[in-house]
Chains A and B, each alone.
Chain A
Amino acid sequence: MKMRKKPGAVLGIVALTAAVALSLSGCRGDSGGQGGGSASSPGITDSAITLGITTPLSGAIAGPGKCTVAGVSAYFGAVNAAGGVKFGDGKTRTVNIKSYDDAYDPQKSLANFQQMVSDNVFAATAGLGTPTNRAFRDAAISQKVPQVLVMTGDPLFSDRKQSPWQLGFVPIYQNEGAAFGKLLAKSGAQHKVAILSQNDDYGKGYVAGFKDAIKGASNISVVGEQTYEATDTSVDAQLTQLASSGADVFFNAMSITPLTIAALQKAQQIGWKPSWFLPSNTSSPTAILEPGGGSAYPGIYSVSFAKAPQSPAFAKDSDVVKFLDELKKYGNYPDMPAFPHCMWSYMVGATLEKAFQNMKEPTRDSFMTALRDIKDLKAPLMLEGTSVDTTVDGQPAVSSVVVQKYNGKGYATVENVG
């Protein structure tokens, strides 16, 4: 009791010292990174490189978010175990992944980015979410930190002029709409198309891609077009309108799971049974098509570029077996991946490795040059007919998708509509 004269003061001093020490260590780290070697960028040494991922690891979007970390960690876990990546400058480095939770909050993702800079992260990658990636896009540009192969369909990230330090990974919305439009135009048969789209960038992107692809195709006519708001709870009115147009193909650019299920059921009720197109994120066989009664329609089409590990067709595929094994071993993800983001971020790992192998100097500049020069890379898990191509302005790393048709259980790639 007698010893405890002023614990408050002691506590204060300890806290202050800790704070000062922390900030000083951050300070030293900064200057140390710049001083080492011949102008190598922060986050890269002769033996290691550090990548940062800010993504939702808690909250409503934590499922896909965890996948983005797991996939990259799995890929580089295996690569590190085999010795590391041989970089273009001749040195072999291991790849460290630092993950940060942003809970899909833009403010937190910016904070995480600032933390990455002070943690000496070489580049931010694979993070999921449009608002969260947009929140630190400006900061990444002004500090010249790569923010690459991020999981957003927002075309802004693939615009070289506006986003010099960015590159999106997954196909932009336009790519998906265009893939289906092209196939439809190629079919040669007469088709009447009804379009329903979400009234925002998402829906508009799909429709723009689709319309571009069918431009000049005399066999395709758009006979009805409706929109809905992302906050709507029902699209029954729009469906009734579109059904009366007598369309045999229904292009539904919808991003909301329950609405998609309801739409599948409603169209059956009113006796309208066209072929459907659904975006890749609302076309899950188990979560959407089965409850919606998808097998009642002559065809449900969607697009994809990744092999689905759940699908029996790929159960023995060597890519899939290796991927699931590494995901368990290094990705801390023992279950069957429930979201495609696990596969996508695994491909991000492969794309990054390719860029590392080609970068001539240990700098961010050199990395961006190498990353923008990848063509025809067939990353593991990619479907036949798709590849990584980072050389085209305005396009993300993966812009090629293949159209697939629902066969009652899963999807299979198709060459023709009908």
Chain B
Amino acid sequence: MSTAAATVRRRRVRLVLVAVVAVLLVAAPLILPAFANQTLVRIGVYAVAVLGLNIIMGYTGQVNLGQIFFVGLGAYVTAYGVNHGWNILLVFVAACAIAGVVGLLVALAAARLGGLAIAMVTIALPIVGVPLAKRLADFTGGSQGVSARFTDAPDWSGLANDQWQFYIVLVVVAGAFLLARSLVHGKYGRAFAAVRENEAVAASMGISPYRTKVLAFTIASVFGGASGFLYLAAVQYTSPETLSFGHSISLLAAMVIGGAGSIAGSLLGGAYYVLVPQLTNAIDPNLTTVSQGAILLAVLFLLPGGLVSLPRVVRRLTRRPPARRSISRPAAETSQQTTPAHRPVPDAAPEEREQTERQDGP
């Protein structure tokens, strides 16, 4: 009974936390300077791309080196739609859908191949994509790229452009993350995990590895397309450079650094993708590659589970004192008061938990 109460309370705490974060996000662009907003907008763009990559790689365990192709495809579709005066919602749907359909077609073929063969097929995407974007000049503007402005703040809103962009990106990013969270916590998430761990076992449980892979790949492409839409909302320009293969590797690095197989890690990955070049530029613009490499190595050595594992590592480092506390009682009481949200230590005595309840009661 006491644990049930604790879960309820924890849920309430979480609800409050979510509400606070939501309010902060809505209020942030009004307070922050333009550059901070623009940076957050770009983080949102890449967080969605990394999120898609996480679904196929982190959750389903299939190597995908072509995510940037879908980002670029979404960006080009968006540019084309905007320049032809389509409704913006239609543009968004088209950017996601076309990327999704292309992803589906690629996956139908690629998922038949096992293991690294999928990686090879996905490498081909950006490599084919760049010359394709240059040649299809009627759609893509050729090697000079194409501009499309649709995210200037309308007059009635009274907002600056960067604030308006922030809200557009916020809506899409929030939607994408909520959808992805439901997806990986539901039956498909379990199917993804089963396929990642062992395809034979998955098949024996009635989960078709082939269909699961195709599904994950298609969803990743849809997120890529959405990210492309956001890319154009933020950058307002796209060119063949956008989908060059190197960016795909950077996205992959961002995903691993944020935390593979983690929703929050995708957000951190997006932040890494955007902030680290800015940081290294501030250190010394002539040494960006060197310092980026150093940061990459440092994070992977110190946090092999990605940035998202930072709280876990911190908790592990701080857990040792509580273990000692269960032996010497008085110390435990004092520290318990300072940390009410402290999760009960599994091996702690049951009375200790009751004590916590009593303290919080009145």
Interface residues of A (CB under 8 A from B): 1-2, 4-8, 11, 23, 26-27, 30, 57-59, 66, 69, 99-101, 103-108, 110-112, 114-115, 117-118, 130-132, 134-135, 137-139, 142, 154, 156, 200-202, 229-231
Contacts and interface: CB of A to CB of B under 8 A. Distances in A.
User: Among B235, B242, B247, which residue has the most Cβ atoms of chain A within 10 A?
Assistant: B235
B161 A142 contact: yes
Nearest to A114: B38
Interface in B134-178: 134-135, 137, 142-145, 147, 149, 152, 161
A137 B246 CA distance: 24
Contact of A231 (B131, B142, B161, B280): B131
A230 B33 CA distance: 42
Interface in B214-252: 231, 234-242, 244, 246-247
B134 A230 contact: yes
25 contacts: A5-B318, A6-B318, A6-B339, A57-B285, A99-B286, A101-B277, A103-B288, A106-B237, A108-B277, A110-B235, A111-B39, A111-B274, A111-B277, A111-B278, A114-B35, A114-B39, A115-B35, A130-B144, A132-B241, A134-B237, A134-B239, A138-B149, A142-B161, A201-B143, A230-B143
B340 interface: no
A169 B94 CA distance: 39
A117 B161 CA distance: 14
Given A114-B39, A118-B34, A200-B137, A134 B144 contact: yes
Contacts of A4: 317-318, 321
A154 B144 contact: yes
Given A11-B314, A101-B285, A111-B278, A131 B241 contact: yes
Instruction: Summarize A's interface: helix, strand, loop or mixed.
Output: helix
A183 B167 CA distance: 57
Nearest to A229: B135
Contacts of A118: 33-35
Given A69-B285, A107-B242, A132-B241, 11 more contacts: A5-B318, A8-B311, A57-B285, A99-B286, A106-B237, A111-B38, A112-B281, A118-B34, A130-B145, A138-B149, A142-B161
B281 A58 contact: no
Interface residues of B, number: 52
Contacts of A112: 281
Nearest to A23: B36
Contacts of B234: 110
B32 interface: yes
A4 B320 CA distance: 11
B285 A99 contact: yes
Contact of B42 (A1, A103, A111): A111
Contacts of B144: 130-131, 134, 154, 156, 200-201
A58 B277 CA distance: 11
Contacts of B318: 4-8
A1 B321 contact: yes
B235 A106 contact: yes
Give the interface centre of B42, B142, B144 by most chain A CB atoms within 10 Å: B144
A25 to B, nearest CB: 9
Contacts of B231: 107
Interface string B75-86: 000000000000
A144 B318 CA distance: 52
A111 B236 CA distance: 12
Contact of A229 (B131, B286, B311): B131
Nearest to A119: B35
Nearest to B147: A138
A364 to B, nearest CB: 17
A105 B274 CA distance: 12
Contact of B314 (A8, A57, A111, A130): A8
A23 to B, nearest CB: 5
Given A66-B286, A118-B35, A135-B235, A7 B314 contact: yes
B335 interface: yes
A50 B314 CA distance: 43
Interface in B290-339: 311, 314-315, 317-318, 320-321, 335, 338-339
Nearest to B335: A5
B142 A115 contact: no
A2 B335 CA distance: 11
B35 A26 contact: yes
B33 A27 contact: yes
B281 A30 contact: no
B242 A114 contact: no
A131 B277 CA distance: 18
Q: Which 4 A-B pairs have the closest CB atoms?
A: A118-B35, A131-B239, A231-B131, A27-B33
A205 B174 CA distance: 45
Contact of A107 (B42, B311, B338): B42
A132 B321 CA distance: 53
Contacts of B355: none
Contacts of B235: 106-107, 110, 135
Contacts of A135: 145, 235, 237, 239
Contacts of A106: 145, 235, 237-239, 241-242
B289 interface: yes
A58 B289 contact: yes
